[in-house]
């Protein structure tokens, strides 16, 4: 009898221990699930799809400010790196929303990257997403702010530049009226009036050209442009002026290079560099223009032996209305827009422009543009066989063929 009760007691105790173990195991599982939800929280339905279609930056953060989701725009703008926000200004906005619970919208200026000094202007809106998450939306307003600044500066500068020739035209018109009975004076004032009218027309033309360059549809990227022909055309436009100053023009452009872009704009850009080189050269000087192919790009260099540019002015020569020599620019009718047009043209063609100079010894301006990627040409069947069957060239024909091949593969700056 005693042994029976002992067995029953042991069985009951075993059942109790088993039940207790199951309860503890169930509670541990529930706590583990809760912990897993904290560690890997679930994003509300639909957020992923919304972030995928956003053109602007969209970021979802958890309570520890870890980035759970980021739109392609946020990654492209460099706002997120290694699942973390990169800018302290954005982190402060997120913290403010967590404290107040209210949405915040602000405009911020943040660094574009850790390496450079460039900044981005962002329109940022931060709000809670559910009880535990925060949603950050950012729109890049950098270009809009830049255009506003350009517009304000441009209006101020053009107003200043037009003031002098307009005042001159007005004074000359009055002088003509008063000198109506003096033919010599009338001719002299009429000549000055013509000069000022030409200057006004030149400024207006360059303003229109610069406005065209700043438009989004300024280029036709499907147009193939011959660089050597562009250089030849630009040089020809300046030969008369160069002859008047007895400036020698040395041109070496035989690369056969092609680029995609707008031929008229490229001619204007090279023309402006050549015209500048002539204007700032002394009488009897020499201006060299050359082209060269280097590492998938074509380089157009314009070198003069003129007055040169001081080192502290090199970075400013491409600014609108900036002149190195105010007096000489006034005498030559310069508007201060020529090099700005060069810069915008080259940038719109995917290239860059550089300058080297020594005061008193001259300057070199170099345009660098990416070569056009030409589509493969399908040769007719049997072309290879026909070519291999051709007899080798000899004598003068061989020399001409070799010279032509060398010229197509070589181009050197002056």
Distance CA 49, CA 52 (A): 5
Q: Indicate whether 244 pLDDT > 70.
A: yes
Looking at residue 96, what is its pLDDT? Answer: 93
Coil, strand, or helix at residue 28?
A: helix
Considering only residues 150 and 405, tell me which one the structure prediction assigns the higher pLDDT: 150
- CA atoms within a 13 Å half-sphere pointing along the CA-CB vector of 68: 21
The boundaries of every CATH 3.30.565.10 domain in the chain are 220-377+392-414
Which of 236, 383, 363 shows the shortest CA–CA distance to 301?
A: 363
Under 8 Å between Cβ of 99 and 93: no
Token representation of residue 62: 């958890």
- The percent of residues in the chain predicted with pLDDT above 90, rounded, is 19
Token representation of residue 241: 């002026």
Token representation of residue 231: 């250089």
Q: What is the pLDDT of residues 169-183, one digit of tens each?
A: 777 777 877 777 788
Distance CA 378, CA 367 (A): 33
Token representation of residue 309: 């540019």
Pure H helices in 216-262: 227-236, 239-244
The boundaries of every CATH 3.30.450.20 domain in the chain are 47-140
What pTM, to 2 d.p., does this model score? 0.49
Q: What is the pLDDT of residues 248-275, one digit of tens each?
A: 999 998 888 999 888 888 998 999 999 9
Considering only residues 145 and 290, tell me which one the structure prediction assigns the higher pLDDT: 290
| Per-chain mean pLDDT for the chain | 76
Let me know if domain 220-377+392-414 sits in CATH 3.40.50.620. Answer: no
Under 8 Å between Cβ of 304 and 287: yes
Query: Which helix (H) or strand (E) is 75 found in, with range?
Result: helix 72-76
Distance CA 365, CA 338 (A): 13
Q: Is 78 left (phi over 0), alpha (psi -120 to 50) or beta?
A: left
Which of 120, 46, 45, 27 shows the shortest CA–CA distance to 79?
A: 120
**DSSP string covering 174-225, please?**
HHHHHTTT-HHHHHHHHHHHHHHHHHHHHHHHHHHHHHHHHSTT---TT-EE
Pure H helices in 292-382: 326-332, 338-348
CATH number of the structural domain 143-215? 1.10.287.130
Class in CATH terms, 47-140: alpha beta
Looking at residue 115, what is its pLDDT? Answer: 53
Considering only residues 288 and 173, tell me which one the structure prediction assigns the higher pLDDT: 288
Distance CA 69, CA 52 (A): 10
298 CB-near residues (< 8 Å, 6+ apart): 227, 255, 257, 259, 291, 292, 368, 369, 371, 411
The boundaries of every CATH 1.10.287.130 domain in the chain are 143-215
């Amino acid at each position: 009898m005693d042994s029976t009760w002992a067995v029953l007691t042991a069985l009951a105790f075993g059942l109790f221990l088993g039940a207790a173990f199951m309860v503890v195991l169930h509670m541990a599982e529930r706590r583990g699930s809760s912990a897993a939800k904290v560690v890997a929280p679930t994003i509300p339905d639909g957020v992923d799809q919304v972030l995928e279609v956003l053109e602007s930056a969209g970021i979802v953060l958890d309570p520890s400010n870890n980035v759970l989701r980021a739109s392609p725009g946020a990654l492209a703008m460099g706002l997120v790196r290694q699942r973390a926000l990169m800018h302290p200004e954005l982190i402060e906005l997120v913290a403010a929303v967590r404290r107040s619970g209210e949405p915040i919208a602000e405009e911020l200026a943040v660094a574009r990257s850790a390496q450079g000094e460039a900044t981005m202007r962002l329109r940022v809106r931060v709000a809670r997403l559910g009880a535990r998450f925060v949603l950050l939306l950012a729109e890049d307003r950098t270009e809009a702010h830049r255009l506003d600044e350009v517009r304000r500066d441009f209006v101020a500068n053009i107003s200043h530049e037009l003031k002098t020739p307009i005042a001159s035209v007005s004074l000359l018109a009055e002088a003509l009226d008063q000198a109506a009975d003096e033919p010599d004076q009338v001719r002299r004032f009429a000549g000055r009036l013509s000069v000022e009218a030409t200057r006004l027309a030149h400024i207006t033309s360059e303003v229109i050209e610069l406005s065209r360059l700043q438009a989004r549809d300024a280029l036709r990227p499907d147009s193939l442009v011959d660089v050597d022909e562009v250089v030849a055309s630009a040089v020809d436009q300046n030969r008369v002026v160069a002859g008047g100053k007895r400036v020698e023009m040395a041109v070496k452009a035989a690369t056969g290079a092609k680029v995609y872009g707008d031929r008229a704009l490229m001619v204007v850009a090279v023309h402006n560099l050549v015209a500048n080189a002539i204007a700032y050269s002394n009488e009897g000087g020499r201006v060299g223009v050359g082209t060269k192919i280097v590492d998938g790009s074509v380089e157009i260099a314009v070198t003069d032996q003129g007055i040169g540019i001081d080192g502290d002015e090199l970075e400013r020569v491409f600014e609108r209305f900036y002149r190195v020599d105010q007096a000489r620019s006034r005498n030559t009718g310069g508007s201060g827009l020529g090099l700005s047009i060069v810069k915008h043209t080259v940038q719109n063609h995917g290239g860059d422009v550089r300058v080297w100079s020594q005061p008193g010894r001259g300057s070199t301006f170099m345009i660098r543009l990416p070569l056009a990627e030409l589509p493969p040409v399908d040769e007719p069947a049997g072309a290879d066989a026909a070519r291999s069957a051709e007899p080798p060239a000899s004598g003068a024909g061989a020399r001409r063929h070799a010279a032509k091949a060398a010229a197509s593969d070589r181009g050197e700056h002056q």
